[in-house]
Structure 1
């Protein structure tokens, strides 16, 4: 019982903190031996198409287009495609007002990935960049992404997702904290070998490497970016290319989004089996399992198991270390519970919302696993309401 407890506790710690600590020291050693990697100069940039799939985004679409048109890139090398399939509001009409943008519209709503596949049939440039309709890019985002394609081993480049959290935000403050931590992990992952999955807010791929994923794919951005690594290419992380969006309106909206991501995570793991084979690429498998697989499979269940075993061990006369660990777990989950109670009453004490957000994420994984197993998760994205 004690052995299982320590194994469970170690895996939980490793998945969320230990891997980051290990990466930190590995990168330190690598830099001491080889020096810090130099960023490529933005010369001879490839031709590029910015693709935006938008569904009922009349609130944001004009601002998104304006933001896109103001991006810095060599004249004549950047094209724009906006796909508005299924939109029932004014989104297509607004896009038509901008002649610089190619509009693709169909009355049928088949989901984001179907819209992306349709857009890719019109892309003729070297590189394609995908970004969401409700996110806004920094002016040099495309330049900073595309400069990496000077390296022939780079198959995809992931930008950074930045979450703008209002000063009066409640538990969604945890979302901003989480993405800052994820950004640091991705920076180190990229420097070690490759990022293990890109976020749909901003990522790019060589057009020739684009593989149409199955139409029922839930996390299309994750799948598309990682498929290039199976073919031996790297996914680079570029934090100086960033997409900014507001946090979810409340925890219920964020939970809805996280459950969908968790269901898609399980689907992706089942469909990306080659990445689990360390004999194909040991470093990539190590990164993928450490950063993604553990979090999306066993960790939430091991958290529950560690708590139950800790209680049993203490009840059976466990020593001081077990009592202290149990006290720490009770304190952590107590803070999470208090965060939930305060959030329900719209009382904003942010110190409780990081443990609350952490527990909510892991609860979402459990929900997502069962939803996917029961066939209840559609590939069609249901937008989360944002602040």
Structure 2
């Protein structure tokens, strides 16, 4: 009886882990291969757009941000820029005011959290397409046009851009591996339907699809899911790039992951109707696999770690499984202690450390949701780096 339960827990956990990291991408690839969905674009499609930038104490970089947006090759007469300042006290508002002659509008608001300032900014926008971009990300000249072109297809309701690190010298190979894997998933999802999220650094939706944001969710995920909920496609456009900062330390990256996963899980709960395959087809499976199962992956990992040693006596496969986990987590722990050194930044140490950090952040996020703890206010990566 006990052996049977242990076997079910072990092999069930192994299946979930392998499905999440290998089976799910394979399923996406097969769907894109056999059931591809094309996008109708037109280089002459240039609708009026509004770029909305939520900012909190971004004095060090807001000028560079606005200059990057103003220097894009999108027609100036069809480009509106709104900076929604969330109670900034460091001179951000004064810097933005200097750009008002260039068509930039400042919306100075009391401190209330990113989502609420976005809720206040959208009604003031005049563009047919709303573009949301982080204050600390820089846009190349062609980013906005590449982001907007897919909207020529009436089936497209939202487009996610591609987030890349501003510095090509990313020291943490673990973080690089994570972003490359996530980019691959977005490409596979987009080739056959919709992606299950958008990059907060740069994404766009049709104005008619915006819904009021609750305070306790990530704006990019919740807004993106509203697009799918309205039965439009949400796609990934790798040519629409936004360059953003790298976390200054593992501690700051961990805190960011906890905040994002906590709010992401809550967002899935609020949008749980999308998990119904009878209404949303394959996307329901995709959302469950990518945004729920993968964020709960720490649980089957723990179950594997507990059950493998208890099953040693029955087969060497459980001995191998236990040893593999001990070695992997030992390497991750070594990566943690050596994270500030050159050796600690190598692939061998930083990749296991980065993934273990995500697993631990996921556990904390699960507990946060069970306790009802949420994050309403926010801070920029630039502030975190100071």
TM exceeds 0.5?
A: yes
Say if 2:76 is the partner of 1:75. Answer: yes
How many Å apart are 1:353 and its aligned residue? 0.6
Q: 1:104 aligns with which of 73, 92, 107?
A: 107
The 1:55/1:307 distance shift into structure 2, 3 A limit, reads same
SS at match of 1:92: helix
In structure 2, what is the equivalent of residue 199 of structure 1?
199
Structure number having the greater helix percentage: 2
SS at match of 1:280: helix
In structure 1, what is the equivalent of residue 31 of structure 2?
26
In structure 1, what is the equivalent of residue 3 of structure 2?
none
In structure 2, what is the equivalent of residue 16 of structure 1?
21
Q: Deviations over 1:272-314 (max 9, x none)?
A: 11111111022110111111110223x1111000111111101
Q: Deviations over 1:179-210 (max 9, x none)?
A: 11111110110111101111211111100111
Q: Is the 8 A contact 2:336 2:344 kept in 1?
A: no
Q: Is the 8 A contact 1:163 1:179 kept in 2?
A: no
Say if 2:150 is the partner of 1:148. Answer: yes
In structure 1, what is the equivalent of residue 90 of structure 2?
89
Say if 2:56 is the partner of 1:58. Answer: no
**TM-score, scaled relative to structure 1:** 0.92
SS at match of 2:213: coil
In structure 2, what is the equivalent of residue 208 of structure 1?
208
Give runs of aligned pairs for residues 342-361 of structure 1, distance below 5 A.
Answer: 342-343=338-339, 347-350=343-346, 351-361=348-358
SS at match of 1:238: strand
> 2:217 and 2:264 mapped to 1: Cα distance?
8
> 2:306 and 2:227 mapped to 1: Cα distance?
41
How many Å apart are 1:386 and its aligned residue? 4.1
> 2:261 and 2:170 mapped to 1: Cα distance?
28
SS at match of 1:217: coil
Q: Deviations over 1:152-195 (max 9, x none)?
A: 111111101112456472xx432222111111110110111101
Aligned positions, number:
376
In structure 1, what is the equivalent of residue 42 of structure 2?
41
Structural RMSD (CA): 1.8
Structure 1: stretches of 5+ with no match in the other structure: none
Say if 2:369 is the partner of 1:372. Answer: yes
Give runs of aligned pairs for residues 1-387 of structure 1, distance below 5 A.
Answer: 1-30=6-35, 37=38, 40-98=41-99, 99-100=101-102, 101-106=104-109, 108-164=110-166, 167=169, 169=171, 172-214=172-214, 216-297=215-296, 299-314=297-312, 317-343=313-339, 347-350=343-346, 351-384=348-381, 385-386=384-385
> 2:72 and 2:175 mapped to 1: Cα distance?
27
Q: Is the 8 A contact 1:56 1:87 kept in 2?
A: yes
> 1:196 and 1:168 mapped to 2: Cα distance?
26
**TM-score, scaled relative to structure 2:** 0.93
> 1:16 and 1:46 mapped to 2: Cα distance?
39
How many Å apart are 1:346 and its aligned residue? 7.2
Structure 2: stretches of 5+ with no match in the other structure: 1-5
How many Å apart are 1:40 and its aligned residue? 1.7
How many Å apart are 1:334 and its aligned residue? 1.5
